[in-house]
Each structure stands twice: as C-alpha cells, then as structure tokens.
Amino acid sequence: SQTIHQWPATLVQPVGSPLSLECTVEGTSNPNLYWYRQAAGRGLQLLFYSVGIGQISSEVPQNLSASRPQDRQFILSSKKLLLSDSGFYLCAWSLSGIRSPLHFGNGTRLTVT
C-alpha cells in the first residue's frame, strides 16, 4: 500500500532563515505531488504541484519554491522566511493520468518568529 512521509512535524524558525520541508511517497510510481498550506482559520491553498521529476508548477506567487529531485520526493524551500509564511504545510500525492483523490501527509506546523 502507498504511504506518504512528511517531516518535520513541527518547526520554529526565525524570520530571514531558510526552510526545507521534505516529503516522500512509497508504494507507487510517478505520482502527482502537491504542496498545500492551511493558514489559521482558513481552507487549504494549493502552493505547488508536480507531474514528474523536475516539473514544478506554482499556483501562488510567494516567497517559497518547490523541487522534485526524484520521482517520489518533493521538497518545499525558502531562502528567507517571512512572518506570513507561518502555517500548516501539507504534502499530498495522487495517481497520475486519472481522476483520483489526493492523499495527504500529516503536515508540518511552521511558526516563523
């Protein structure tokens, strides 16, 4: 069966520091991968999605970037964090080529101080 791993679970970083969140998927090949963010009291907002290695689409212009160096690895990064980057970050995967639900990791709670 497929599993998704996301780490760390919580992170406190000062303003201006870099960020790297990692996500890996097991048990499937060539998945679609996604980064979502949930700000306090709001729904989930799609940040980035990827349909293959090195293929990244950005949905919202911002201080963050994403990379997919391997088929089942997705990384969310920032060179300099802002206070507004605080939130709950979720990685997700779905089967490629067909309509299918997204399956989420357990998320990373990021607090920028």
Partner 1 sequence: DQQVKQNSPSLSVQEGRISILNCDYTNSMFDYFLWYKKYPAEGPTFLISISSIKDKNEDGRFTVFLNKSAKHLSLHIVPSQPGDSAVYFCAASDGGTSYGKLTFGQGTILTVHP
CB of 80 to partner 1, least distance (A): 27
CA–CA gap between residue 64 and residue 19 (Å, rounded): 9
Contacting partner 1 (CB under 8 A), which of 11, 22, 28, 46? 46
In terms of Cα–Cα distance, which of 3, 14, 29, 30 is closest to 78?
14
Contacting partner 1 (CB under 8 A), which of 49, 76, 81, 112? 49
CA–CA gap between residue 84 and residue 66 (Å, rounded): 18
CA–CA gap between residue 2 and residue 46 (Å, rounded): 22
- Site track for partner 1 across 60-89, x = CB under 8 A: ------------------------------
CB of 79 to partner 1, least distance (A): 26
SS3 83: helix
CB of 75 to partner 1, least distance (A): 17
